[in-house]
Amino acid sequence: MKFDLDEQQIAFQQGVADYLAAECPVSRALEPHDHGKPDFALWRGLMQLGIGGIVVPEEHGGLGLGLLDLAVVMEPIGRHAAPGPFLDHALGTLALTVAGTDAQKAEWLPALATGEKRATVALAEGKGEWFADQWTMEAKPTLTGEKHHVLHAEGTDAIIVGLAGGRLALVRGDAPGLSVTPTLSTDAGRQLCTVAFADTPCEPLEGAAGARLVDAGLVLLAADAFGGASRAVDMSVAYAKEREQFGRPIGAFQGLKHQLADMAVTIEPAVGLYWFAAHVWDTDPAAAPLQAALAKSLITENYARATRRMTEAHGGIGYTWEYGAHVWLKRALFDQAYIGMPRALRARVADLSGW
């Protein structure tokens, strides 16, 4: 019986945490919010540490590990609310790993593993239509239509597009008829784009791995949210110890103490939810949709609440641009909404439970 990270996972997680502790202070996480441009440099730095190859098979230059290994490095990325294409590139790489043809794998995976090339995923069609069973776009054999909320599509080398029947296809970044329109996003650390296809050539992946890809996205968002939420607890605690009023640290007052405790009990015990969802994705695919929806709905919703409470617990300073509490507030809103709001995921949980 073991339910914990192993040494290698802890080492990976620590490596990413150390890098981001050095390279991604709050001021860095704030930069995209200031100038509205995406940050690719942090991502390149982490690619050099090897995180791009975690799920890539060894024969294509990766480590051949699983989603759990990938999710545990998402946690420090979320903890620092690091700006950059971590989520989208991880999902694009994962899609090709699980469903790419041999030729696609050979062409793309080595370069995606190193970060020499970049990939993203295009899932959502209309409002709330994130899920594979809602996709209607078809390859005839070219693509025509729009996908929304595609991360960092500008300048990407490959877009993995979700199609009707849960199928996936690859569109090259320089494909004819492809147009990308960036939108200013609430979480400026993650650039959203609308992607339009007009008779655009695409290259189908094998099978119908769309639902697997969506579940992996839910797990990675849950991991990102857990990291950010535990940071929100820690920042609130640190401020409560440091800030003095009425001659004592405000953390001595029960009103605040109880708020912080209430925040913490919704977050710290939840780490196992994302671990288990990732583990199940790796080992028991049939059970993954339920576990991924449970993890993502609970953790991201509690993350969003925690960042509101953190902002409040800081008083006036929490509401300032410079202090940066809003970086996590906005990241939490992103994690909550991306690939389905908690409410939508709970509806899926109810269906999957046979209620």
In the shown chain, the binding pattern of residues 219 to 258 toward another protein, with x for contact by CB under 8 A and - for none, equals: --------------x---x--xx------xx-xxxx--xx
- Residue owning tokens 């695409």: 202
Q: Which is nearer to another protein, 78 or 92 (CB)?
A: 78
The DSSP output letter for 128 is T
We find the least distance from the C-beta atom of residue 281 to another protein, in angstroms, to be 12
We find the least distance from the C-beta atom of residue 279 to another protein, in angstroms, to be 4
131 binds another protein (CB under 8 A): no
Find out whether 94 and 210 touch, Cβ atoms under 8 Å.
Answer: no
Q: Which is nearer to another protein, 10 or 21 (CB)?
A: 10
78 to 155, 229, 336, 338: CA distances (angstroms): 24, 8, 13, 14
We find the least distance from the C-beta atom of residue 127 to another protein, in angstroms, to be 18
Q: How far apart are the first and last CA of the chain?
A: 31
127 binds another protein (CB under 8 A): no
Name 290's Cβ contacts closer than 8 Å, sequence gap at least 6. Answer: 349, 352, 353
We find the least distance from the C-beta atom of residue 126 to another protein, in angstroms, to be 20
294 binds another protein (CB under 8 A): yes
2 binds another protein (CB under 8 A): yes
The residue type at 221: L
Q: How far apart are CA 234 and CA 76, in angstroms?
A: 13
Ranges within 178-217 binding another protein (CB under 8 A): none
Q: What is the size of the binding site for another protein (CB under 8 A)?
A: 47
355 binds another protein (CB under 8 A): yes
Considering only the stretches 25-33, 314-322, 333-341, 345-353, report the one whose residues sit in contact with another protein under the rule CB under 8 A: 345-353
According to CB under 8 A, which one of 207, 265, 284, 317 is a site residue for another protein? 265
The DSSP output letter for 321 is T
Q: Which is nearer to another protein, 44 or 243 (CB)?
A: 243
Closest CA to 145 of 101, 196, 78: 196
68 binds another protein (CB under 8 A): yes
- Residue owning tokens 């991306």: 338
Closest CA to 91 of 124, 58, 61: 124
Q: How far apart are CA 274 and CA 279, in angstroms?
A: 8
At 123 the three-state DSSP class reads coil
Give residue 226's Cα distance to chain centre.
Answer: 11
4 binds another protein (CB under 8 A): yes
Q: How far apart are CA 342 and CA 258, in angstroms?
A: 26
22 binds another protein (CB under 8 A): no
35 binds another protein (CB under 8 A): no
Residues that bind another protein (CB under 8 A): 1-6, 9, 68, 233, 237, 240-241, 248-249, 251-254, 257-258, 260-262, 264-265, 268-273, 275-276, 279, 291, 294-295, 297-298, 343, 345-347, 349-350, 353, 355
